[in-house]
A = this chain, B = another copy of it.
Amino acid sequence: MSHSFEKICQLLKEHNYKLTPQRITIIEMFLENRDQHLSAEDVYDLVKQEAPDIGLATVYRTLEMLAQIGVLLKMDFGEGRLRYEFSEGVHHHHHLICVQCGNVSEVEEDLLDLMEAKIEEEEGFTIIDHQVKFFGICKKCQDNNI
């Protein structure tokens, strides 16, 4: 079910991508930070600790490639920059974005199957994926506001 290092390497091979040290480091980084939504710059900073010579462009290219083959999912939280996370289980978690502190957390709730079925039927639109974002005030901020 979940992504493993081996499975991802396998995917690269299938798509005729080479397994370079830089790519390996980036993939390991994501495996060690499964729960995070990392921006390109975040990845760059993290990876630089392991491999100081890596270039930012390489990070961008690798993230794009991993998104293309379905390992990562591009997420846009409206900050003017993209974030990346493992694509697994995308259909069953949504994001809670706190408009005060900017923190992004996840919920597992998903009642969208009904909606999808209706849309496919009524609009003739074949749904591949969905993204749901709830904007509001997280518990922490609410507590701080008192």
Contact = CB atoms under 8 A, between A and B. Distances in A.
Contacts of A74: 78
A21 interface: no
Contacts of A136: 125-129
Oligomeric state, in number of copies? 2
Given A111-B114, A114-B111, A130 B133 contact: yes
A125 B139 contact: yes
Contact of A135 (B82, B105, B123, B127): B127
A56 interface: no
B125 A130 contact: no
Interface residues of A, number: 37
A142 interface: yes
Contacts of A129: 134-136
- Residue with the highest number of chain B CB atoms closer than 10 Å, among A98, A118, A134: A134
B130 A134 contact: yes
Interface of A: 74, 76, 78, 82, 96, 98-99, 105, 107, 109-112, 114-116, 118-119, 122-139, 142
